[in-house]
Amino acid sequence: MIIGNPLEIAIQLEYVIDYCSPSGFFNFVINDKLIPGKGVDTDLFVVIASLKESVNWYLQNEPKDIGDIKLESMDFSEGAPDNIIFLDCCELSDHGCVFWLGFDGDEERLFYSTDYEKTIQEQRYPKGTIANLINSLPNSFDLKINRINDDITNTEIIS
């Protein structure tokens, strides 16, 4: 299933393995790329809950605007720079993916790495885009594996 607008930013979520908690694919769709684009046994409960908790906790504390500071002048080597929200994606970091969120007026600045923080990339979205996307994720225990046959599986929301 795709949540969000894949032409802008979205999340691909598929429940494919029934471990202790729902597991499967979890990818961000950014610039026509699936990030991390690997991992079929991601613990969906952990990733979804951690993302929601991290974005909502920081937003309740009203992070300050970082303005239009150039990405090149920001230092992510010791964690998130001042007034940047670390978006906890748990297991996705095992695949080299780390995400942060900052604000510049009416824009959100999504910073991310796909190579274990060797390089940082940035995308800008209207303010509220990332929090709305993350908060629209279903609870992982509301997901159901729908096996159509041995070769076709999709994910349904049961609530």
* 43-52 tens-digit pLDDT: 999 999 999 9
Distance CA 111, CA 134 (A): 15
pTM above 0.85, yes or no: yes
Q: Reply yes or no on whether the pLDDT at 159 is more than 80.
A: no
Q: Which domains does the chain have, with CATH numbers?
A: 2-157 (3.30.2450)
What pLDDT does 153 receive? 84
Q: How does DSSP assign 86-126, residue by residue?
A: EE--GGGGGGT-EEEEEEETTEEEEEEESSTTSS-EEEEEE
